[in-house]
Structure 1
Amino acid sequence: MSASSNSTLDMRSIPLIALNINVRKRLGLYLNPRNTVASDWMSVAENMGFTYLEIKNYEECQNPTRKVLEDWQSRCPGATVGKLLSILDEVDRTDVVEDLGHLFEEDCRLYLERQKDPPVQVPEVTSCEIRTSECHAITLEDDPKGCKPELFDAFICYCHSDLDFVQEMIQQLEQSEYKLKLCVFERNVLPGSCVWSITGELIEKRCKRMVVVISDQYLDSDACDFQTKFALSLSPGARSKRLIPVKYKTMTKPFPSILRFLTVCDYTRPCTQSWFWVRLAKALSLP
Structure 2
Amino acid sequence: MASSSSASSSSSSPCPASIDYDAIPAIALNYGVRKRLGQYLNPTNTVASDWTDLAERMDFTYLEIRNYERRENPTQTLLEEWQTRPEATVGKLLTFLEEAERKDIITDLKRHIDENCRKYLQKPVQVPVVDSGHQDRGITVLDSHMPEMFDAFICYCKSDIQFVHELIRQLEQTDHNLKLCVFDRDVLPGTCVWSITSELIENRCKRMVVVISDDYLDSDACDFQTKFALSLCPGARSKRLIPVVYKPMKRPFPSILRFLTVCDYTRPCTQSWFWIRLAKALSLP
The TM-score range, normalised by the shorter chain, is 0.7 to 0.9
Cα distance, 1:58 vs structure 2: 3.2
Maintained 8 Å contact 2:214/2:249: yes
Maintained 8 Å contact 1:58/1:67: no
Maintained 8 Å contact 1:235/1:242: yes
Cα distance, 1:193 vs structure 2: 2.2
Secondary structure of the structure 1 residue equivalent to 2:211: strand
**Cα gap change, 1:278/1:23 in structure 2, threshold over 3 Å: closer, same or farther?**
farther
- What does residue 74 of structure 1 align with? 84
- What does residue 61 of structure 1 align with? 67
Cα distance, 1:224 vs structure 2: 0.6
RMSD of aligned alpha carbons: 3.2
- What does residue 143 of structure 1 align with? 144
Cα distance, 1:186 vs structure 2: 1.2
Structure 2 residue runs of 5 or longer lacking an equivalent are: 1-6, 8-12, 127-131
Cα distance, 1:168 vs structure 2: 0.9
Q: Residues 37-81 of structure 1, C-alpha deviation per residue, up to 9 Å, x if partnerless?
A: 222334434544x2xxx5434332234645653453333x23123
Secondary structure of the structure 2 residue equivalent to 1:60: helix
- What does residue 186 of structure 2 align with? 188
**Which residue, out of 232, 235, 241, partners 2:233?**
235
CA distance in 2 between counterparts of 1:59 and 1:231 reads 24
Matches within 5 A, 1:225-264: 225-264=223-262
Matches within 5 A, 1:1-287: 11-19=21-29, 24=34, 27-48=37-58, 50=59, 54-63=60-69, 65=75, 68-75=78-85, 77-100=86-109, 104=113, 115=124, 134-143=135-144, 148-287=146-285
- Give the AA of the match of 1:89: E
Q: Residues 109-151 of structure 1, C-alpha deviation per residue, up to 9 Å, x if partnerless?
A: 776787589xxxxxxxxxxxxx99942221122235xxx2211
Cα distance, 1:266 vs structure 2: 0.9
Percent identity between matched residues is 65
**Cα gap change, 1:40/1:132 in structure 2, threshold over 3 Å: closer, same or farther?**
closer
Structure 1 residue runs of 5 or longer lacking an equivalent are: 118-130
- Give the AA of the match of 1:56: Y
**Cα gap change, 1:100/1:159 in structure 2, threshold over 3 Å: closer, same or farther?**
farther
**Cα gap change, 1:38/1:208 in structure 2, threshold over 3 Å: closer, same or farther?**
same
Maintained 8 Å contact 1:199/1:227: yes
Secondary structure of the structure 2 residue equivalent to 1:59: helix
**Cα gap change, 1:236/1:139 in structure 2, threshold over 3 Å: closer, same or farther?**
same
Q: Residues 2-35 of structure 1, C-alpha deviation per residue, up to 9 Å, x if partnerless?
A: 88759x8765433223346775465345335554
Maintained 8 Å contact 1:209/1:284: yes
**TM-score, normalized by length of structure 1?**
0.78
